[in-house]
Amino acid sequence: MNASTLRIAEELKLSASKVDAVIALLQEGATIPFMARYRKELTGGMDEVVLAALRDRHEQIIELEKRRTAIMQSLQERELLTPALQTALGNAQTLAVLEDIYLPYRPKRRTRAQIARERGLEPLADLLWRQSPEDIPARLAEAFIAPQNDVPDAETALAGARDILAERISEDAETRRVMRLMFTMRGEIVSTRARTTKETAGESQAKGKDDPSATYRDYFEWKEPVRTAPGHRILAMLRGERENVLSLSVRPDEAQALTALKGHFITTANACSREVALAVEDGYRRLLAPSMENETRTLLKTRADEEAIAVFAANLRELLLAPPLGQKRILALDPGFRTGAKLVCLDAQGALLHTETIYPVTGGPRAEEASVRVRSLVERFAVEAIAIGNGTASRETEAFVRSLGLPAAIPVVMVNESGASVYSASETARREFPDHDITVRGAASIGRRLADPLAELVKIDPKSIGVGQYQHDVDQAALKKALEDVVVSCVNSVGVELNTASAELLSHVSGLGPALAQNIVAHRTENGPFRSRKELLKVKRLGPKAFEQCAGFLRIHDAADPLDASAVHPESYPVVQAMAKELGCHVADLMRDAALRDKIHLERYVSGNVGLPTLRDIMAELARPGRDPRPPFTAFSFAEGVHEISDLSPGMVLPGIVTNVTKFGAFVDIGVHQDGLVHVSQLADTFVKDPAQVVRVQQRVQVRVLEVDAPRKRISLSMKGLRA
């Protein structure tokens, strides 16, 4: 068992043997959903969160080892790798420590210290460094005067020697460790208004425009500790700095830092030590402080990114796992005023049956005609639900539909259309609706999103769905990886119907990907529906490994083998068949009859490859084969008569749906085309540290209007004293 395995086990408080097993599975190409579901004996029952943390830490260690190897090769090529240096590099446990050790040896541009060395001043620096009370700096420097080397006098020699000492101090590994700790534990973020913004503000006021820097006015005079600064404020200030609105400083008190450094490097009080003190001050201000500030900024940014990405991922999970209406015949409307509402009718599988444009909110003959058309289409296509996009004219269109006197059994549902326009213009939409324009595609997407949010939302870049916090400011590679993990987790936890799923949905199934997903769809188109999971092995380039990873997450509801409609993996079919044989019944009987299942003694089926965790999962699946983990769908309605911000007044209590959760509060849609903010301090009657512990995306809540700022389109809400 290697050192990295032991290190991960210690850091994550896991069994070293289980960590070793997971790493082996990862190297074999196993996905996190597959390991979490079908390899519990090997993983010790680790969930997806733990498995993802283990995978990420393993990847970080791999990158650390790559860097360590590159550094050692560089030093060896330059004949600088001593046994002591090799040991120090080998013992470095973090990238920061590794780089600190390498810093004095790293090839660099010609610094002031390097120029001083070229002028032969390093021996003078060494003499000053020893701080002997007998030495007089000016006299020591006289021996190094060399006009031919651009050292015309003693002061020039001393200045060069101090440059060497300043660099030596700034590159000392222990010094950097201490300063790094001081910057992170005692540092402060100081934000002030940039000078240029004052001029911009003046120009805007002169032209009668709003000050473009007003967004950041809270940070014009702001200070807070590095160690406690929340991620959303860090990202806001960094964005303000990028936009030249704010000036930021991230440092500890300079006097404290210099006192600490001098205490470490000044050994006595004499003329030479005063030269060293000057070098300490110069080294800190010119070299060490800027370097540590950059590191601290990177640390802050990384911390803020992780927080924002975690919030985004949690919100996305709630959105993807929103309750589906199911396979229903749906009439969907993408509302509008002047251009009318685009109407589509979809069958229970989401296929487009009919499309037209109606004008329900303009009044007069057009509105009457729209009434006739909707009633006719509802009857003609046996519509079971109506979906209305929540954009422009949505509340007016909803009121129109509800006034038609349609059967009460037909729910009228407002659907969040964030990202629908992105989908409408995508290659996926063009492929699905080649003969229709973006308005039809958008309306169809709204209807399909009501039927199955997960299946429709996977077609859209998660960043376009609108549940992120500073999503464009964070590390885009890390964000993409985290969101992909969420999408894959959600898709595989729900399961995918093999014979109806789109290529986009299939591409997120464990072990597949875009190419194999397209091959599955092509095979299905050419050969007809799959009759069994085994037929997947006939798909082009889908081999045994991919089959192992994907088969358990794919469902065939009309298959001859009832297990093909369940989450039981094909590798476990023999176990279930053995259970049925021993009881003298068929597998289908086991799935129907709880009394038969109660007769099974799981311990009898434990083998080298199948343990009790897997057997318990099998029994749960036999009881409820292919169970959808998403909650059941229930219709929601906004308050009647509240359509615009102008309809709001303080004190009103309204129903709403949480659309986004951030670290500073939650945004709630109350049906006025502008989400209101429930600040973290207004989420509950008790103290709330993390809004995610109180609310989640798609949650239905009751809110009280506190304040309405119509010109700035800001609505302040409260949930205090109210129940969801």
Q: Which CATH class is domain 112-307?
A: mainly alpha
Whole-angstrom distance, CA of residue 341 vs CA of residue 707:
32
User: What is the model's pLDDT at position 720?
Assistant: 93
Element (H, E) at 4: helix 3-12
Whole-angstrom distance, CA of residue 239 vs CA of residue 250:
15
Residue with tokens 């990158």: 63
More confident residue, 383 or 626: 383
Nearest Cα to Cα of residue 188 among 141, 138, 237, 232: 237
Residue 402 binned pLDDT confidence (cut-offs 50, 70, 90): very high
Residue 421 binned pLDDT confidence (cut-offs 50, 70, 90): confident
Q: Quick check: 410 pLDDT over 50?
A: yes
Pair 554, 498: CB distance under 8 Å: yes
Give the CA distances from residue 513 to residues 448, 453, 676, in Å, rounded to whole numbers and listed in that order.
23, 20, 39
Helices (runs of H) and strands (runs of E) counted in the chain: 31, 15
Whole-angstrom distance, CA of residue 534 vs CA of residue 156:
83
Give the CA distances from residue 583 to residues 51, 564, 592, 598, in Å, rounded to whole numbers and listed in that order.
37, 21, 14, 11
User: What is the model's pLDDT at position 471?
Assistant: 80
Nearest Cα to Cα of residue 467 among 664, 282, 286, 317: 317
String of b and e for 466-476 (b: at least 16 CB within 10 Å)? Answer: bbbbbbebbbe
Nearest Cα to Cα of residue 288 among 247, 257, 244: 257
Pair 645, 674: CB distance under 8 Å: yes
Pair 704, 652: CB distance under 8 Å: yes
Residue 247 half-sphere exposure toward CB, CA atoms < 13 A: 7
3-105 and 112-307 have identical folds:
no
**Above pLDDT 90, what percent of the chain?**
83
User: What is the model's pLDDT at position 201?
Assistant: 55
The residues, ordered by sequence, that sit 6+ positions from 36 with a Cβ below 8 Å of its Cβ are: 43, 46, 47, 48, 51
Average pLDDT over residues 152-166: 97
Q: What is the pLDDT of residues 519-536, one digit of tens each?
A: 999 999 999 999 999 999
pLDDT, averaged across the chain: 92
CATH code, residues 3-105:
1.10.10.650
Q: What is the pLDDT of residues 646-684, one digit of tens each?
A: 999 999 999 999 999 998 999 999 999 899 999 999 999
Q: What is the pLDDT of residues 220-251, one digit of tens each?
A: 999 999 999 999 999 999 999 999 999 999 99
How is residue 692 written in tokens?
């995610």
The domain locations on the chain are: 3-105, 112-307, 330-451, 496-565, 570-623, 645-718
Whole-angstrom distance, CA of residue 468 vs CA of residue 662:
8
Q: Which CATH class is domain 645-718?
A: mainly beta
Whole-angstrom distance, CA of residue 622 vs CA of residue 654:
43
Q: Quick check: 212 pLDDT over 50?
A: yes
Residue 208 binned pLDDT confidence (cut-offs 50, 70, 90): very low
Pair 136, 247: CB distance under 8 Å: no
The residues, ordered by sequence, that sit 6+ positions from 665 with a Cβ below 8 Å of its Cβ are: 677, 678, 679, 680, 682, 683, 691
CATH code, residues 330-451:
3.30.420.140
Pair 548, 38: CB distance under 8 Å: no
Q: What is the pLDDT of residues 84-118, one digit of tens each?
A: 999 999 999 899 999 999 999 988 888 999 999 99
Nearest Cα to Cα of residue 175 among 112, 249, 103: 103
Burial class (CB in 10 A: 0-12, 13-18, 19+), 134: exposed
Q: Quick check: 331 pLDDT over 80?
A: yes
Residue 2 binned pLDDT confidence (cut-offs 50, 70, 90): confident
**From the candidate CATH numbers 3.30.930.10, 1.10.150.310, 1.10.8.80, 3.20.20.80, the one assigned to the domain spanning 496-565:** 1.10.150.310
Q: Quick check: 313 pLDDT over 70?
A: yes
Residue 461 binned pLDDT confidence (cut-offs 50, 70, 90): confident
Pair 655, 637: CB distance under 8 Å: yes
Whole-angstrom distance, CA of residue 182 vs CA of residue 255:
12
The residues, ordered by sequence, that sit 6+ positions from 671 with a Cβ below 8 Å of its Cβ are: 390, 394, 395, 414, 638, 639, 642, 643, 654, 656
Whole-angstrom distance, CA of residue 268 vs CA of residue 369:
96
Residue 384 half-sphere exposure toward CB, CA atoms < 13 A: 12
